[in-house]
Amino acid sequence: MSNDAGKRNQEPLVVRTALELSAAIADRLVRVAAAGGTATLGLVPTMGALHSGHESLVATARAQNDVLVVSIFVNELQFNDAADFERYPRTLDADVRILARAGADIVFAPEPGEVYPDGRPLVKLDSGALGAKFEGASRPGHFDGMLAVVAKLLHLAMPPASCPVPARYSAYFGQKDAQQLVLINRMAKDLNYPVEICSVPIIRTAEGLALSSRNQFLTPEQAEAALVIFRAMNMIKVRADRHEPLFLEDAVALFEEEPLVELDYFELVDPNTLQELAFNCRETPFTGEGLLLVAAKVGQVRLIDNTPLGY
């Protein structure tokens, strides 16, 4: 990254088309190169309705790159529930104000026709067996649709081949969406994308609820009840830190005391593959590394969370 990391606290340039995006990126990279050094480009894909979790991604990407692009696109293809898509919060003006403060250079906010010019793609990406479990089991097609748009966004924001500057390209995703992150990493490798996939830790409320754009649909009572997710994960984390047997069913039992929260899964998996760890959690003391994955429904809102064990 060069010393002249670009100007901060300015309105980002909001672009709507792929051509505008490509031209804006080339323009910024050339300006960085003129100031000396190689150039780095960061992309933060989002669906908007930005909160402090997104701001953390943007701050990390800002600190590591000369040129920062944030995309805002509510991708219908990854919604298996039409009502969920319709009510997904859309707050572009407020998002752009947040991104101006956060120092984004370019906001890419395309219309659906720009991303999917011929409607639903004929040529599809398949998220395979991993895409069919956990979130994929409850949201059929979700991960295929997510990969479709991420593949396009990574492609559309790639440093243009015509750009005279060698540029390092990185894209940033939150660890909150752990399964998404594993699938995106795998896709980038499978398709030889020249991009580094970077992950950013989960941001929570002071009480422990992972921030999510859909949290705004929770009533105060539901938000309070949802804290059982954090309590349950912590119960297991404490046992893991002490290398005790985990007794995962004790954590699952906590959910039975919260009628507003319907647990979907509470699973200990390998952090890299998300394969379930096979061991007797009542007898075997926990050693090694694992990732605890949780999903629960609170009213109409599906919440996901996770925490690493053994690090």
Ligand X SMILES: CC(C)(CO)[C@@H](O)C(=O)[O-]
Please select the residue that binds ligand X; options are 5, 47, 69, 165, rule is CB under 6 A: 47
53 binds ligand ATP (CB under 6 A): yes
Contact 308, 253 (CB under 8 A): no
Distance of alpha carbon 281 from alpha carbon 187, whole angstroms = 32
Closest chain position to ligand X (CB): 45
5 binds ligand ATP (CB under 6 A): no
Question: To which residue do tokens 């990493």 refer?
Answer: 185
Of residues 201 through 230, those in contact with ligand ATP by CB under 6 A are 202-203, 210-214
Within a 10 A sphere around the Cβ of 212, how many other Cβ atoms?
22
95 binds ligand BAL (CB under 6 A): no
174 binds ligand ATP (CB under 6 A): yes
The residues pairing with 267 across neighbouring beta strands, listed in sequence order, are 293
Judged by beta carbon, residue 95 or residue 177, the one nearer ligand BAL is 177
Residues whose CB is less than 8 angstroms from the CB of residue 303 and which lie 6 or more positions away in sequence, other chains included: 209, 210, 212, 214, 215, 226, 229, 295, 296, 297
Q: How far apart are the first and last CA of the chain?
A: 30
Judged by beta carbon, residue 168 or residue 214, the one nearer ligand ATP is 214
181 binds ligand X (CB under 6 A): no
Closest chain position to ligand ATP (CB): 174
159 binds ligand X (CB under 6 A): no
Contact 28, 105 (CB under 8 A): yes
Q: State the binding string over 169-208 for ligand BAL (x if CB under 6 A, else -).
A: --------x-------------------------------
104 binds ligand X (CB under 6 A): no
Separation of CA 21 from chain center:
21
Contact 291, 311 (CB under 8 A): no
Judged by beta carbon, residue 188 or residue 232, the one nearer ligand X is 188
Question: To which residue do tokens 């990574």 refer?
Answer: 154
Q: Is 142 in the active site?
A: no
Please select the residue that binds ligand X; options are 150, 223, 281, 296, rule is CB under 6 A: 150
Least distance between ligand BAL and beta carbon 300 (Å): 13
Least distance between ligand X and beta carbon 48 (Å): 9
Of residues 237 through 256, those in contact with ligand X by CB under 6 A are none
Structure tokens at 23: 């031209």
Distance of alpha carbon 251 from alpha carbon 22, whole angstroms = 49
Distance of alpha carbon 309 from alpha carbon 311, whole angstroms = 6
145 binds ligand ATP (CB under 6 A): no
Q: State the binding string over 29-68 for ligand BAL (x if CB under 6 A, else -).
A: ----------------------------------------
Where would I find the beta strands (DSSP E) of the chain? Answer: 13-15, 39-46, 67-72, 106-108, 167-174, 196-200, 261-269, 290-298, 301-309
Q: Which does 149 bind (CB under 5 to 8 A by kind): ligand ATP, ligand X, ligand BAL, none?
A: ligand X
Find the part of the chain contacting ligand X (CB under 6 A) among 57-65, 91-99, 146-154, 294-302. Answer: 146-154
Least distance between ligand ATP and beta carbon 62 (Å): 15
Contact 216, 202 (CB under 8 A): no
- The DSSP annotation for 227-288 comes to THHHHHHHHHHHHHHTT----HHHHHHHHHT-TTEEEEEEEEE-TTT-PBP-S-TTTSPP-S
Task: Give the active site residue among 54, 142, 155, 243.
Answer: 54
- Catalytically active residues are 54
Binding site for ligand BAL (CB under 6 A): 78, 177
Binding site for ligand ATP (CB under 6 A): 46-47, 53-54, 56-57, 173-174, 176-177, 200, 202-203, 210-214
